[in-house]
Structure 1
Amino acid sequence: MRRIIVALTGASGAVYGIRALELLREVPDVETHLVLTKAARATIGYETDRSVADVRALADVVHSDGDLGAPISSGSFRTAGMLVAPCSVKTLSGIAASYDESLVVRAADVALKERRRLVLLFRETPLHAGHLRLMSEVTASGAIVMPPVPAFYAHPHSVADIVEHTTGRALDLLDVDTDAVARWTGERDGRAVVHRS
C-alpha cells in the first residue's frame, strides 16, 4: 500500500486537490492522507458545490492541520510523497523556510528531508521576485513546483478537462498513473496526436 499525502491550502483552485483525491480513490494500492488548512475549508465553500465533509470523505485518513503529532509529521511514517494542490504563497513560504507551524508545512518538510516527492501546484499570478525566489529555494531542496498551466494540445472542451489533465500530470510526478492524462504521441499532418493512458 502506497501512502500519498494530499494537502489543500487557501489558494484558488481547490478543485485540483478534490480531483486528485477522486482519482486516487480509483487506484487500488493507494492510501490517501488529507490535510485541509482553515483557509482551504473556506475556499472549498467559495469555489465548489462540495462541503468540507464531502471532501474529507474522499480520503482514507484525515489529519487536522494543527496536529503536529500526526503520523505524517514523522519521517518514520513512510509515504510515497505529497501533493499540495493548490499551494498558496503562505504555504510555499513556510516550506521554503522550514517554518513547521502547521501540519501541511511539517509534512512537506518531512517529505523533503526524507528525499520523497513533494509536488506543489503553486497558484499565484503574476509573480514578483519574492515568489520566484521561494520557488527556486524549494526546488533546490527537492520539491517540484508545478503551476497548473493548461495543456491545450489535448484540446480541452471544458474547465473540467483542464483540471483533469493537470491533476493527472501532478499524480504522474508521484508515480501514480491514471487515465486522466491525454498523452502527447507526436504530430501527424500538422495536428497534435494524443491518447489516453
Structure 2
Amino acid sequence: MAEYPRERQVTLALSGASGAPYALALLERLLAAGIQVHLLVSGAARVVLATEQGEQWPGKPEALAAWLGDRFGAEPGQIRAYGKEEWFSPVASGSGAPKRMVICPCSMGTVASIAAGTSDNLIERAADVVIKEQGQLILVPRETPFSALHLENLLKLARLGVTIMPAAPGFYHQPQSIADLVDFMVARILDHLGLEQDLVQRWGYGGEES
C-alpha cells in the first residue's frame, strides 16, 4: 500500500445539503489526480445520496472505502473513510490531518457548527483542525435563499480564511447538460486546490476568435 505525502492528501466531507452529484464528481477527479482522499460522510448526507442518486452506501467505513475504491478504480489505500466519532483518525489532529479539506455539499447546520467551534462530530472537528492549523478549508454550501444568520456564519468563516464557494455554476461556457454544470463547480474547486483540470476552459484561454 503506497504512502501519500501530506501535499497529496485531501479531506473530503459530505454533509446533508443537496448536491450529491458535486461530491461524486469531485471524488472521482481527486482520485484520478492521484490524491489520497480522507472521506467523511454524515448521516444526513447518506439520506441525500439515496434521494438524489438512488444510492445506498455501505455503513462501515472500511466497507465504504473498498466499495468506492472498486467503483472509481482507486489504488489500495487511496480512500480512507472514517466514522462520525472516530476521534483517533488522522483528520482529528493537527499532527496528522491533511492541510486541505473540502466540505461538498455543505449544509448550513454544518457551517453554523464550524463557525461556533462546537466540534460535535468528526466533520466539524476536522474542519476545526484545518482552521487552527491555518490550512485550506473550502465550503460548498447549497442553500437558497441565505438568511442573515447564514450570511453571518459564512462571513465569520471567510474572515478566518475559509473559502466559501456556493454551488452556483456559471453559464458562460454554454453548458449542454446537468453534468456540464456539475463539472463547472468541480473545476473551480480543483483550481482552488491547485490541481490541474480539463473540465472547463479557463476564461480568456478559449477559442473565442474562431
TM-score, structure 2 as length reference: 0.84
Equivalent residue number for residue 68 of structure 1: 87
In the alignment, structure 1 residue 38 sits paired with structure 2 residue 48:
no
| Structure 2 SS opposite 1:177 | coil
Change (3 A) 1:152 1:100: same
Where do 5+ consecutive residues of structure 2 fail to align? 70-77
- SS of residue paired to 2:135: coil
User: 1:65 Cα shift?
Assistant: 1.5
* Residues 161 and 143 of structure 1, relative CA distance in 2, 3 Å threshold: same
Deviation at 1:80, TM superposition (A): 3.5
Q: Match for 2:119 among 94, 100, 120?
A: 100
The one-letter amino acid of 2:105's match is P
What is the count of residue pairs matched by the alignment? 189
Structure 1 unaligned residues grouped into runs of 5+:
none
Residue 160, structure 1, aligned to residue 165, structure 2 = no
Report 1:171-190 matches (<5 A). Answer: 171-185=190-204
Q: For residues 126 and 62 of structure 1, do their structure 2 counterparts lie closer, same or farther at Cα, with a shift above 3 Å needed?
A: same
Query: Separation in 1 of the partners of 2:80 and 2:96?
Result: 14
| Cα distance in 2 for residues equivalent to 1:121 and 1:35 | 15
Paired AA for residue 100 in structure 1: S
Note if contact 2:97-2:129 (Cα within 8 Å) is conserved in structure 1: no
Distance 1:96 1:86 in 2: 16
Deviates more, 1:48-57 or 1:105-114: 48-57
Deviations 1:102-159 (A, max 9, x none): 1001001111111111000011110111011000011111110100111111111111
Mapping of 1:95-174 within 5 angstroms? 95-174=114-193
Distance 1:45 1:187 in 2: 38
Name the CA shift for 1:55/1:11 in 2 (closer, same or farther; >3 Å): farther
Q: Deviation per CA, 1:19-76, whole angstroms, max 9, x where unpaired?
A: 1100111112x11110000000111000003331497414610011221221101000
> Quick one: distance in 2 between partners of 1:140 and 1:174?
19
- Secondary structure of 1:119 counterpart: strand
Aligned partner of residue 202 in structure 2, secondary structure: strand
Displacement of 1:181: 2.4
Contact 2:100 2:135 in 1 (8 A): yes
Name the counterpart of 2:75. Answer: none
List, as ranges, runs of 4+ consecutive aligned residues in structure 1 with deviation greater than 2 Å.
Answer: 53-56
CA distance in structure 2 between the aligned counterparts of 1:25 and 1:126, rounded to whole angstroms: 33
State the TM-score, normalizing by the size of structure 1. 0.89
State which of 23, 26, 34 in structure 1 corresponds to 2:32.
Answer: 26
Q: Which residue pairs with 2:16 in the alignment?
A: 10
Overall identity of the aligned pairs, in %: 35
Structure 1 counterpart SS, 2:204: strand
Task: Give, in whole Å, the separation in 2 of the partners of 1:38 and 1:80.
Answer: 25
Give the structure with the higher percent strand: 1
Could you say if the C-alpha distance between residues 187 and 41 of structure 1 is closer, same or farther in structure 2, counting changes exceeding 3 Å? closer
Contact 1:12 1:86 in 2 (8 A): yes
Amino acid at match of 2:36: E
Is 1:77–2:88 an aligned residue pair? no
- SS at the partner of 1:104? helix
